[in-house]
Structure 1
Amino acid sequence: MKKEDCRTEMLFPDLEEPFNRLFQGTKYPWEALPKIKTWIAALQEGLSEEFQEVKKGVYVHKTVKLFPNVYFGENILIAKGCEIRPGAFLRENVYAGEGSILGNSCEFKNAVLFPHVQTPHYNYVGDSILGAYSHLGAAALTSNVKSDKTLVKLHFEDGDVETGLKKFGSILSDHVEVGCQSVLNPGTIIFSNTNVYPLSSVRGIIPGGMIYKGQNRLVKKRGENE
């Protein structure tokens, strides 16, 4: 895949409010990651009375199903119809879109969940953006820091891109399915309607409409662009 194929509008072609504001001025989607904190803070300033401030800097819509033993850090916004299950750990700078599930014993940090994202069991989502209707199977993780602690670099057919980010988890487009106990390595980008097999170690840029069976084992889904 070439650099131009990974522009923001290629991964998220139909951005609506409030997500269009997060990506405003970006050429590539990872440029939005450092903006998550200020974007959430700005959204909090114009909330309706349907949101309640459960602690300073944490706003939850009144329709949210909130289970016991949930931890809220700071600068968090949870949209209507979400479900936050026992033991969820929301550290800081977290936005959950309408109807999303933040599951038991899951951890979130500097993360954006588009509407109807499901992270139901033992997931880690850090410095990541998950597109609408994406789903992480049990214990699937977004690893956000390289083992050697160097900055994340992305590799394309027409050259490498230095992101300038030490912490960069994953960016998923819409309708991405990630199998149980998979690890999305730092800087992983997955385009829409792709499925990842369980127990996979994923890295790099994965095209849309594919089945990821392992490194260098990509199969096009039946009916995709036929």
Structure 2
Amino acid sequence: METCKIKNLYNLEETIAKDLFEGAVYPWEVLPKISDFIKKLGATLSEEEYEKRGEDIWIAKSATVAPTAYIHGPVIIGKEAEVRHCAFIRGNAIVGEGAVVGNSTELKNVVLFNKVQVPHYNYVGDSILGYKAHMGAGSITSNVKSDKKLVVVKDDKGNRIETGLKKFGAMIGDNVEVGCGSILNPGTVVGPDSNIYPLSSVREVIPAHSIYKKRGEVAEKRKQNEK
């Protein structure tokens, strides 16, 4: 389950939340810590670069936030980020530098690394999205199992990791592309530089540099210099 480790999923230099991951092996370990981390970090942010708006809400002065967006703290919105019309940020959210939170997109208990795009009708809850990850229109992270049991991370070889979490969406690595209309079920982990086909239902660990077509059909990406 090496794919699932923080060091193999994310470039921690591409998030203001780097220190949140200190001492953790798997990224989901930090989900319960996001709220307190934001409050502590927010209090240290430069007043020249960030403006405090309401309780535990820090927004970079260079960020663009639509007047119709709803934001409930604790939240940090990074430099040059864009929060569009009717975005719904429910709290415990870190929006990275240059990230896009789009029309009618909902965030809750998440870390979006720099340059992440969740631009059209997305739900992202109890999840971590790596640098330049992109979720296509209507794709979501489902964060609670239908039977309400604790989430277990599984791969196609039968390996299992008990997370101890009831709420766990998806851990999405750097440069991942999620196709439109896809559902990432609780406990999904997608390795960096991978693509998820549109209209997919994913519920497993997807290796790095892969193309997920459907369950049981995951192809390795060819290198650019290969024919």
TM-score interval for Structure 1 and Structure 2 normalised by the shorter chain:
over 0.9
5+ unaligned residues in a row in structure 2: which ranges?
Answer: none
- Look up the match of 1:20: 18
- Look up the match of 1:30: 28
- Look up the match of 1:133: 132
1:220 aligns to 2:220 (yes or no):
yes
Over aligned residue pairs, what C-alpha RMSD do you find? 1.5
TM-score where L is the length of structure 2: 0.94
- Look up the match of 2:90: 91
Deviating more after overlay: 91-100 vs 64-73: 64-73
Q: Deviations over 1:143-181 (max 9, x none)?
A: 000001000012244642210000000011100000000
| Cα distance in 1 for residues equivalent to 2:4 and 2:122 | 26
User: Which structure 2 residues correspond to residues 57-206 of structure 1 after superposition, within 5 A?
Assistant: 57-156=56-155, 157=157, 159-206=159-206
- Aligned AA for 1:209? H
CA contact (8 A) 2:3 2:208 kept: no
| Cα distance in 2 for residues equivalent to 1:159 and 1:174 | 23
SS class of match (1:92): coil
C-alpha distance 147-119 of structure 1, shift in aligned 2 (>3 A) = same
Q: Deviations over 1:53-102 (max 9, x none)?
A: 12111111111111121101110000000011010000010100100000
- Aligned AA for 1:111? V
Q: Give 1:7 shift.
A: 2.0
- Look up the match of 1:6: 4
- Aligned AA for 2:63? V
If each structure's strand is expressed as a fraction of its own residues, which one has the higher value?
1
SS class of match (2:91): strand
| Cα distance in 2 for residues equivalent to 1:198 and 1:150 | 28
SS class of match (2:92): strand
RCO comparison, higher one (Cα < 8 Å, 6+): 2
| Cα distance in 1 for residues equivalent to 2:190 and 2:109 | 19
Q: Deviations over 1:125-154 (max 9, x none)?
A: 000000000000000000000001000012
CA contact (8 A) 1:37 1:75 kept: yes
Q: Give 1:225 shift.
A: 9.8
Q: Percent identity?
A: 49
Q: Deviations over 1:8-51 (max 9, x none)?
A: 21222x42263331111112111111111111111101010121
CA contact (8 A) 1:209 1:224 kept: no
TM-score where L is the length of structure 1: 0.94
| Cα distance in 2 for residues equivalent to 1:120 and 1:161 | 31
Deviating more after overlay: 36-45 vs 194-203: 36-45
| Cα distance in 1 for residues equivalent to 2:139 and 2:78 | 23
